[in-house]
Amino acid sequence: MNRQDLENINITSFDAMPSPEELHARLPLSELAANAVNDGRVALRNILERKDRRLFVVVGPCSIHDPVAGLDYARRLKGLQEQVKDTMLLVMRVYFEKPRTTTGWKGYINDPDMDDSFHVDRGMEQARQFLLDVCELGLPTGTEALDPISPQYLGDLIAWTAIGARTTESQTHREMSSGLSTPVGFKNGTDGDISIAINAILSASHPHSFLGLNGQGRVAIVRTRGNQHGHVVLRGGDGRPNYDTVSVAMAEQALTKAKLPANIVVDCSHANSYKKPELQPLVMADVINQVVNGNTSLVGLMIESNIVAGNQKIPEDLTQLIYGCSVTDACVDWATTEKMLLEAHARLLSR
C-alpha cells in the first residue's frame, strides 16, 4: 500500500497562505493604530485591576461582512466614545469568525465574498485592513478568537479577546489564550455552566507549550507565560438569563472560591435577552442599576449592535443586501445603541 493511500484521504488541496510576517509587511501597523491598541489594552487592564472605575463596553455588529458599513459604524462609535469617556471605555466588536453548530456562513475571513468561494487568504488580508482602519480612528477593537492561527495575523490590532461558549472548554483555546497579548473574556457554557469559564481562566493563567505557527509561517512549539487578565462573561444558557443579582452573586462566590478576581462581564445578547435584540436595553439597564447600587464585580458589558436593527439572510444577489444590517445574529440599531449608552452614562455619573 502506498503512503498516498493512507494520508489526506479527504483533502482536496492545500492552498498556500502568506505568512504572518508577509501580511504584516503588506499592511504594517501604523503609529496611530499602535497607540489605539496599546491605550485600549492599558485601559482594559486598569479596569480589571480596579485602577479605573469605568466600565468597558464591547459593542458592535454580531459579525463584519461589509467593511464600508463597518467603518461607517466605527466612525459613529468614535463620536459616541467622546461623549461617554468619563464613565465607559467603548471597544468596537469586530468579529470575523463565526462558530457554527452545523453549517452556515463562517465569517469574513473564511468566505469574504459570501458565495462559498472561501478565499481565506484574501479574507485575512481584508480583515487586517479593516482592523487597521478602525484602530486608526482611535478605537480599540475586540474579537472572538476561534481559529488558533488567526491571532498570528491579526493579534497586534486587537485590544480585547473573547472565547466563545462553544470553545471555552477547549484545551486548544485555553492554551492559545495563555499566550494572547490581550485581556480575555471566557463565556459560560451554552448550558449556563460557569465552572468551565472559571477552569478556563485558571488554565490560561498558567504557562503552556503547544504546536502553533511562528511569524514565518513555520510550525513551532509555542511556549507561553500565562495570561493574568482572564475574566468571566455571563451570556445566559439553556434558554435562561444569568445577569440578575442572584446569578451575579453566585458567579462572584465561584470566582472567590477559585481564588480569582471577581471580574464579571455581562453579554446583553444571546440567552440573556432570549435572542431578542429588543431586550438588550433592559439587560443593560439592569446591570447598570446593579453597578450604581454598589456592585463592584461587574466590569463590562457586551452589546450586539448595527446601523439597522434585526438581521437578514444572505441573498444570492449580494446587491440586495440591506446596508448596515447583520447577516448573523439580530442586533439593535444605531439609535437604540446611542440611547442605551447615553442613558447608562447619565446613571453612572451618579455613582
Tens-digit pLDDT profile for residues 250-288: 999 999 999 999 999 999 999 999 999 999 999 999 999
Per-residue model confidence (pLDDT) at position 101: 57
Look at residue 293 in the predicted model and tell me its pLDDT.
97
Instruction: For residue 64, give the amino acid letter.
Output: I
The residues near 214 (Cβ < 8 Å, ≥ 6 apart) are 20, 152, 220, 222
In the chain, what are the domains?
Answer: 15-165+266-348 (3.20.20.70)
Output the pLDDT for position 2: 77
For residue 30, the model assigns a pLDDT of: 97
The values of phi and psi at residue 242, to 5°, are -145, 35
Cβ atoms 231, 263 nearer than 8 A:
yes
Helices (H), ranges, 52-136: 67-84, 120-135
State residue 262's pLDDT score.
Answer: 98
The length of the chain is: 351
272, 329 Cβ separation under 8 angstroms: no
| pLDDT at residue number 3 | 78
252: nearest Cα among 243, 242, 263, 244: 263
Q: What is residue 209's predicted lDDT score, i.e. its pLDDT?
A: 98
Q: Profile the chain (351 residues) by mean pLDDT over runs of 10 residues.
A: 83 94 98 98 98 98 98 98 98 88 82 94 98 98 96 98 96 98 98 97 98 96 98 96 98 98 98 97 98 98 98 95 97 98 97 84
Instruction: Return the number of other C-beta atoms located less than 10 Å from residue 44's C-beta.
Output: 26
Yes or no: say if 287 and 266 are a contact pair by the CB < 8 Å rule. Answer: yes
CA–CA–CA angle 303, 155, 104 (5° rounding): 55
- Judge whether 145 and 134 are in contact, CB under 8 Å: no
| Residue 147, phi then psi, degrees to nearest 5 | -85, 125
Distance in angstroms (rounded) separating the CA atoms of residues 179 and 198: 17
Half-sphere exposure of 27 (CA within 13 A, CB side): 22
